[in-house]
């Protein structure tokens, strides 16, 4: 399964002008991840705050995401942030994998091409991505039968 470690994401891999992020996943496989307006605006705001951190602590870091003290965030930090936000906002236990699964399911439920989702998830075999279509079909059946 393909995972991108956001803690290793570098500033040079963010292209706000063309709205994408270049990531490297398992096996150093390159991924181009499109970002929407909300994410682009959030990154623009974050980069201003990040610059204040860099200036305050006189740190030089090529990494995009930093702690308030200028140190690079870790994989565990991201896990804890997502877990805490899930509990606080959604009152549910969520993980980075939950977000990945939700992303794929949402894309497919809203008409995204299976091959596009496969590429975005970094699956080498489309059969792995097709597992998400079964979830979508089950959800459709559940919704249909709950109404009727």
What whole-number distance in Å separates Cα of residue 122 and Cα of residue 129? Answer: 9
For residue 4, what pLDDT is reported? Answer: 54
Q: Rounding to the nearest 10 degrees, give the CA dihedral for residues 96, 97, 100, 105.
A: -140
CA angle 129, 65, 75 (to 5 degrees): 55
Q: Give this prediction's pTM.
A: 0.72
Q: Is the pLDDT of residue 2 over 60?
A: no
Q: Is 60 exceeded by the pLDDT of residue 3?
A: no
Span 72-121, pLDDT tens digits = 999 899 999 999 999 999 999 999 989 988 889 889 888 899 999 998 88
pLDDT tier for residue 5 given thresholds of 50, 70 and 90: low
Phi, psi dihedrals of residue 127, rounded to the nearest 5°: -60, -35
Query: What pLDDT digit, counting tens, does each position of 32-72 carry?
Result: 889 999 999 999 999 999 999 999 999 999 999 999 999 99
Question: By the 8 A CB rule, do 26 and 2 touch?
Answer: yes
Tell me which residue of 140, 142, 143 sits closest to 109, measured CA to CA. 140
State the Cα–Cα distance between residues 15 and 22, nearest whole angstrom: 8
């Amino acid at each position: 399964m393909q995972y991108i470690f956001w803690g290793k994401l570098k500033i040079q891999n963010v292209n706000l002008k063309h709205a994408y992020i270049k990531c490297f996943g398992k096996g150093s496989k390159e991924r181009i991840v499109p970002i929407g307006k909300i994410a682009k605006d959030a990154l623009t705001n974050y980069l201003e705050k990040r610059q204040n951190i860099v200036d305050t602590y006189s740190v030089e870091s090529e990494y995009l995401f930093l702690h308030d003290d200028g140190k690079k965030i870790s994989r565990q930090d991201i896990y804890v942030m997502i877990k805490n936000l899930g509990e606080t906002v959604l009152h549910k236990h969520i993980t980075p994998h939950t977000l990945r699964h939700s992303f794929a399911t949402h894309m497919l439920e809203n008409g995204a091409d299976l091959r596009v989702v496969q590429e975005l998830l970094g699956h080498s075999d489309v059969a792995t991505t097709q597992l998400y279509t079964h979830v979508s079909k089950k959800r459709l059946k559940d919704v249909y039968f709950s109404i009727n």
